[in-house]
Amino acid sequence: MVRFSTSLKHRFELSASEIRVYHCGPAALVLMRNLLTAATVRVAMERLGVDVAAMVADVNDSVLPQTADVDEQLEAFNHIVQSAALHAISNRSKRLRCLDLLVPLAMTPAGAAVFDRHGVSLYALTWQISHDPRRQQRWLTRKLNARRLAKLPPLQDDQRHVLMHNDDHTPLAFVQAMLQQHAGMTDEDAAKTAEAVHQLGWQRIATLSLADTATLLATIEVEAKTNDFPLRLSVYPPLPAARVVTRR
């Protein structure tokens, strides 16, 4: 069972109450208006270059009293929450955060329209949520990563290790397909590596020359972006600045 934080549960109750009493709709916009009061959501939006105050005003202007059936509004609201909860369960998470609701929210017509007006693509949104840099700055995370990096095989000449990082929005089947097609892995090796990425946070998928490393990064990241999957690759040791493959 997924549990909700106190602040998140409070926002659920507020949204459901608004829909029931005031017939506000669409339900997605009511939920978005409440989520934008959460500090974590506001920070994520600001990092995407969004003027949060303008987005809040946009949402408020869009949420108008309607005569839509209350049950239909509640059903739409519950669908968003249940989608986020099922996603959390599938990723073995026991906690549902405000940020976890943004992706199913962005996949509704009303939510997608708001994000689009403020220049936020689904790919950029999932990337920001999945690869929050603050997680990598935690002391324990840095310590464990340093130990694992120290155990990587030694490099020769201009070789680099290519690392694949976990996220909650890229399907396992897509990860396995990329490993088979571009890293030359067998079905069994691809399945084991994908599971290691999911369980450990990151895993080495190849050790290549500088030129081949840049090609592999570009190929996989372009395919991931085309499919709106925030699949992240990195290089260790880091590539020279002129060779870094950027996401945008």
Q: What is the pLDDT of residues 105-132, one digit of tens each?
A: 898 888 899 999 999 999 999 999 888 7
If phi > 0 it is left, if psi is from -120 to 50 it is alpha, else beta; for residue 119 that is: left
Q: Please determine, for residue 40, whether its predicted confidence score (pLDDT) is greater than 80.
A: yes
Domain 134-243, second-level architecture: 2-Layer Sandwich (3.30)
* Predicted pLDDT of residue 13: 45
Give kind and range of the element (H or E) at residue 74: helix 70-90
* Predicted pLDDT of residue 108: 85
Question: What's the CA gap between 236 and 161, in Å, rounded?
Answer: 5
What is the third-level CATH fold of 3-120? Double Clp-N motif (1.10.1780)
**pLDDT band per the 50, 70, 90 thresholds, residue 80:** confident
* Predicted pLDDT of residue 163: 95
Q: Where are the domains of the chain?
A: 3-120, 134-243
- When the pLDDT of each residue in the chain is averaged and rounded to a whole number, the result is 80
